[in-house]
Chains A and B, each alone.
Chain A
Amino acid sequence: MNKPADYSLPALPAETEPSSDAVFLDLQRQLHFEARLLDELRHREWLEMMTDDVRYFAPMFGRRLRNEQKITDRMAGYFFNDHRVHMEMRVTRLDSNMVWCEDPVNNVRHLVSNIEVFDTADADEVKVYSAVDLHRSRLDSKLKRLTYGRTDIWRQQEGRWLLAMRCVNFDHNATIDSNLNLFF
């Protein structure tokens, strides 16, 4: 890493055909399992689901008038733009037992739906769309709810599906929570 080009947001490969039912079921199972790992705070196991070259990012779009295109600036903003090292860093922090605002534990539930799976030009990779309704019960016992869409690239590697790319699109123009201390 640390090559300059790595700092811009990656482009998601195009989809070709809808995937077979078998692949669809595999990925659906995978997304549900992944959601449970996150809800149970099993972050290390979740990390094992990532490829070494994984990209995990959330672009940012301002609210602009319809007749003005979304910014396609090479440095358009993002909430995060992680490589694997950064994800590991976040997990290390969360597991340090010194993240005061996660103690007591904030309960979270990722409800994953609207799953669609498509083949791509790469025979080992599929493109997966999903929508997530994330409920979070905070220290102040207030319930916070975030919704977002995801576009993923999952790669088949030694018989397992690994996450190679995840683009998170938040549905809120302003983040409604004081922090995003979790994974999406």
Chain B
Amino acid sequence: MDMRTRNPFPADYHDYINTDEGWVDRRIFWEEEIYQQELEKIFARSWQFIAHDSQIPNPGDFVTTYMGEDGVIGSRDKNGQVRVFLNSCPHRGNKVCFADSGNAKRFTCNYHGWAFGNDGSLLGIHNEHIYEGYINKADWGLREARVSNYKGLIFANFDSEAPDLETWLGDYRWYLDMLLDNEEGGIEFLPGTIKSYVNANWKFGVENFIGDSLHAMWNHDSGAKAMMGGQSFPPAEQEGSYHGSANGHGWEFATDSVADIAILGQPEVIEYYESIRPKMRERLGEMRAKIFGSLASAAMFPNISFLPGLGTFRVWLPRGPRKMELRVWTIVNKNMPDHIKQMVNKGTMLTFSPGGTLEMDDGENWEGNTQTNKGTLTRQGKLHYGCGSTSRIDHPEIPGIVHQGQYNDANQLAFYQRWADLMNADDWDDVPQRNEPRFAGKPTR
């Protein structure tokens, strides 16, 4: 037998990745068994994105989405609290809400007419007198998740043992503030959700945004030239650019350009951000004010990604190991004038919708990355993740695990390390802390 044939499923998930040698086992992008473990060990235990406050501002407003393969409803109850519960009726299991979003006081199941409040409680049953003496309605509400909010982003988690959201985010809050808190008023989501299916493993989307600036220069060359009047991306510059990672979340960035904002192709948007930059400096400090708007991309464990400044925000919802559903929104600063918001929206749709000049190049690659692994021999191979393996540095200002140079595999490996940490751990005490947090218990702004 070929030496590379390995035991089909190692018990230790760290055997699928090697941060020293810089490789990842292809099977994590293909195997059903591994995927089932991801649903249990990652998606049933992680804080996941449900909505932004601006998408469900009023009592009764709701959205439906997924946490792993579990359908959920996120709804604002009559007291203004956001509640998140499984979108499945405890009678025979049907979905209780088939709409993407809307406003509802109750969700009534189509099958037998059990009705649930927007707090998830079982309010009533059609012909309820039949049930007299047979049910205690208080016991039969929709299963509810923990909900927590960071500067407008609403997260939910079904694991009562999981660390709180602030601990989960850890020092990544220092980074996240550049997106959510770069100006008074914070951000808002514009209306409209773009959904598309990509026949690729969900992790390929995440790792692309968490650290893969390398692909942009080659893969997006046609799009960049078309958007920027024939100009290519600037040459790859490792000086003054970084990979930063905390708790598996990552941000790759430069510190001195306006690349991401420029890609929008809307000069007035650049002017807007330049006009608020002095205030941003006061708000977030010199370093973060320099980072904002540079060539950058970011992702949060397990499945959120965004481009700060460019305004695209998305989740990669797993649909089996070989398929994902991509949901995309445009985010803007709340205090922007309307016409600037509209320009950002136009720019993000022109670049990062399924019809976008940049997005269109990506999906095809991720499908190829995934589907080739159908081959038995192909699947036995490793993938190279060794770029920048000796570039780790300590930085006085930048927190987390920091690597010099944004053309790097460091954040991707840190993401897979976090993935393996959670896949292995039966309880939270077994999950190692990979970086000493600088901001534990402290605000990052």
Task: Indicate if the CB atoms of A77 and B193 lie closer than 8 Å.
Answer: yes
Q: Does B363 contact A (CB under 8 A)?
A: yes
Residue interface mask A148-184, B partner, CB < 8 A = 1: 0000000000000000000000000111111111000
Task: Indicate if the CB atoms of A79 and B353 lie closer than 8 Å.
Answer: yes
For the complex, what is the distance from the CA of A177 to the CA of B359, rounded to whole Å?
Answer: 12
Shortest Cβ distance from B265 into A: residue: A89
For the complex, what is the distance from the CA of A52 to the CA of B363, rounded to whole Å?
Answer: 32
Q: How far is the CB of A176 from chain B (nearest CB, A)?
A: 6
Q: How far is the CB of A74 from chain B (nearest CB, A)?
A: 8
Task: Indicate if the CB atoms of B101 and A62 lie closer than 8 Å.
Answer: yes
Most buried by B among A2, A96, A140, A181: A181
Given A78-B349, A180-B355, does the pair A101, B360 have CB atoms closer than 8 Å?
Answer: yes
Task: Indicate if the CB atoms of A89 and B226 lie closer than 8 Å.
Answer: yes
Task: Indicate if the CB atoms of B342 and A8 lie closer than 8 Å.
Answer: yes
Q: Does B181 contact A (CB under 8 A)?
A: no
Task: Indicate if the CB atoms of B225 and A65 lie closer than 8 Å.
Answer: no
For the complex, what is the distance from the CA of A177 to the CA of B366, rounded to whole Å?
Answer: 13
Task: Indicate if the CB atoms of A177 and B193 lie closer than 8 Å.
Answer: no
Task: Indicate if the CB atoms of B349 and A99 lie closer than 8 Å.
Answer: no
List CB contacts (< 8 Å) of B72-129 with chain A.
98-104
Stretch in B19-27, B196-204, B435-443 touching the partner: B196-204
Shortest Cβ distance from A91 into B: residue: B226
Q: What residues of chain A lie closer than 8 Å to B255, measured between beta carbons?
A: none
Q: Does A86 contact B (CB under 8 A)?
A: yes
Given A75-B345, A98-B221, A174-B196, does the pair A179, B325 have CB atoms closer than 8 Å?
Answer: no
Given A7-B345, A175-B197, does the pair A76, B192 have CB atoms closer than 8 Å?
Answer: yes
Q: How far is the CB of B189 from chain A (nearest CB, A)?
A: 10
Q: What residues of chain A lie closer than 8 Å to B194, measured between beta carbons?
A: 60, 77, 79, 175
Task: Indicate if the CB atoms of A65 and B364 lie closer than 8 Å.
Answer: no
Task: Indicate if the CB atoms of B196 and A7 lie closer than 8 Å.
Answer: no
Give me 19 other A-B pairs in contact (C-beta within 8 A), A62-B100, A93-B226, A96-B226 excluded: A7-B346, A63-B98, A64-B99, A68-B102, A75-B338, A75-B341, A81-B349, A93-B222, A96-B225, A99-B222, A174-B196, A174-B197, A175-B194, A175-B195, A177-B354, A178-B196, A178-B198, A178-B200, A181-B360
Q: Does B53 contact A (CB under 8 A)?
A: no
Q: How large is the interface on A (under 10, 10 to 19, 20 to 34, 35 or more residues)?
A: 35 or more
Task: Indicate if the CB atoms of A99 and B361 lie closer than 8 Å.
Answer: yes
For the complex, what is the distance from the CA of A99 to the CA of B149, rounded to whole Å?
Answer: 40
Q: Does A139 contact B (CB under 8 A)?
A: yes
Task: Indicate if the CB atoms of B338 and A178 lie closer than 8 Å.
Answer: no
Given A89-B226, A178-B196, A178-B364, does the pair A77, B190 have CB atoms closer than 8 Å?
Answer: yes
Q: How far is the CB of A155 from chain B (nearest CB, A)?
A: 24
Given A80-B349, A179-B354, does the pair A7, B191 have CB atoms closer than 8 Å?
Answer: no
Given A101-B361, A174-B325, does the pair A77, B192 have CB atoms closer than 8 Å?
Answer: yes
Task: Indicate if the CB atoms of B101 and A64 lie closer than 8 Å.
Answer: yes
Q: Does B380 contact A (CB under 8 A)?
A: no
Task: Indicate if the CB atoms of A90 and B226 lie closer than 8 Å.
Answer: yes
Given A75-B341, A93-B222, A179-B364, does the pair A80, B193 have CB atoms closer than 8 Å?
Answer: no
Task: Indicate if the CB atoms of A71 and B361 lie closer than 8 Å.
Answer: no
| Number of A-B residue pairs having CB atoms within 8 Å of each other in the complex | 139
Residue interface mask B333-355, A partner, CB < 8 A = 1: 00000110111011001100111
Q: Does B244 contact A (CB under 8 A)?
A: no
Instruction: Name 6 interchain pairs, CB-CB below 8 A, sorted by A.
Output: A58-B355, A62-B193, A63-B99, A101-B365, A140-B368, A174-B195
Q: How far is the CB of A6 from chain B (nearest CB, A)?
A: 9
For the complex, what is the distance from the CA of A77 to the CA of B194, rounded to whole Å?
Answer: 8
Q: Does B210 contact A (CB under 8 A)?
A: no
Q: What residues of chain B lie closer than 8 Å to A177, measured between beta carbons?
A: 196-197, 354
Task: Indicate if the CB atoms of B219 and A100 lie closer than 8 Å.
Answer: yes
List CB contacts (< 8 Å) of A46-75 with chain B.
58, 60, 62-65, 68, 71, 73, 75
Q: Does A104 contact B (CB under 8 A)?
A: no
Q: Does B223 contact A (CB under 8 A)?
A: yes
Q: What residues of chain B lie closer than 8 Å to A65, measured between beta carbons?
A: 99, 102, 104
Q: Does B371 contact A (CB under 8 A)?
A: yes
Q: What residues of chain A lie closer than 8 Å to B190, measured between beta carbons?
A: 75, 77
For the complex, what is the distance from the CA of A180 to the CA of B349, rounded to whole Å?
Answer: 12
Task: Indicate if the CB atoms of A63 and B100 lie closer than 8 Å.
Answer: yes
Q: How far is the CB of B335 from chain A (nearest CB, A)?
A: 16
